[in-house]
Amino acid sequence: MRIISANVNGIRSAYKKGFLDYMAQSGADIVCVQELKAQEADLADDMKNPHGMHGVWHCAQKRGYSGVAIYSKRTPDAVHIGLGLEQFDQEGRFVRADFGNLSVISLYLPSGTSAEERQAYKYKFLDAFYPILAELKASGRDVVVCGDWNIAHQNIDIKNWKGNQKNSGFLPEERAWIGKVIGELGWVDAWRTLYPEVAGYTWWSNRGQAYAKDVGWRIDYQMVTPQLAQAMQSAHVYKDVKFSDHAPLVVDYAYDL
């Protein structure tokens, strides 16, 4: 089973850059997408069901903003839209699809870079999401939470870690939260577990020559439950074509969907 997580920074823009073709040749069984920046009415048929895949999405109320989706070769047995928390659900940040005992989640965790108010909103989201992660972990299901978590966990996860310790996305409180998700709740960070010493950046600023110089951040994750982690085989960050300021994170599992 191959699962891809990709922040597309606007699905219509990504499609123009070849994301649809990439999905077709990627061999993915499931593709989790974040930052659709589109309403359902804006989605063309090939954006709703690309190459015959089944699509589910959670769009933000605000036009041209946020939004998440899951595309799968197999039709889900059940779909859960949103967290059930209005202050977060209006921004379209969570969608879950169930396939037998497997639950796949596409998550777009808030960024706090634009203003202090947004950082405060991010902390509220972290506080609300932690017990949800605890419930998912305790459910006995195989779960993978894919997406843009907007937090680089360790120094290895960010090129310029010394200069970013006071910036959103690498603040001590945010990093400690990710640490608790892994250390206390028992979630497994797929990339870092498979490749303990490989940076694995997935996002680069559009400023300067960040992408060309690989001055990146690893803020896109596939967090999995321990039982599913035993099925992890390999992973890679796809950089052959640039669809967005993020690159797709691809993980292969020895798991029958």
Q: In this predicted model, what pLDDT tens digit does every residue of 216-244 receive, in sequence order?
A: 999 999 999 999 999 999 999 999 999 99
Is the pTM for the entire model greater than 0.95? yes
Look up residue 176 and give its amino acid. Answer: A
Q: Is 153 annotated as belonging to a binding site?
A: no
Identify the three-state secondary structure at position 107: strand
Helix (H) or strand (E) holding 7: strand 2-7
Per-residue burial over 15-27, b = 16 or more CB atoms within 10 Å of its CB, e = otherwise: beeebbebbeebe
Q: In whole angstroms, what is the distance from residue 130 CA to residue 123 CA?
A: 11
Q: In this predicted model, what pLDDT tens digit does every residue of 150-189 receive, in sequence order?
A: 999 999 999 999 999 999 999 999 999 999 999 999 999 9
Q: Is 197 annotated as belonging to a binding site?
A: no
Mean pLDDT in the chain?
Answer: 96
What ranges do the domains of the chain cover?
2-253
Dihedral, CA atoms, 148, 150, 156, 162, nearest 10 degrees? 160
Q: Is 246 annotated as belonging to a binding site?
A: yes
Q: Which two tokens stand for residue 185?
A: 């709740």
For 2-253, give the CATH class. alpha beta
Can you give the C-alpha Rg of the chain in angstroms? 17
Q: In this predicted model, what pLDDT tens digit does every residue of 96-148 receive, in sequence order?
A: 999 999 999 999 999 988 889 999 999 999 999 999 999 999 999 999 999 99
The residues carrying an active-site annotation are 108, 148, 246
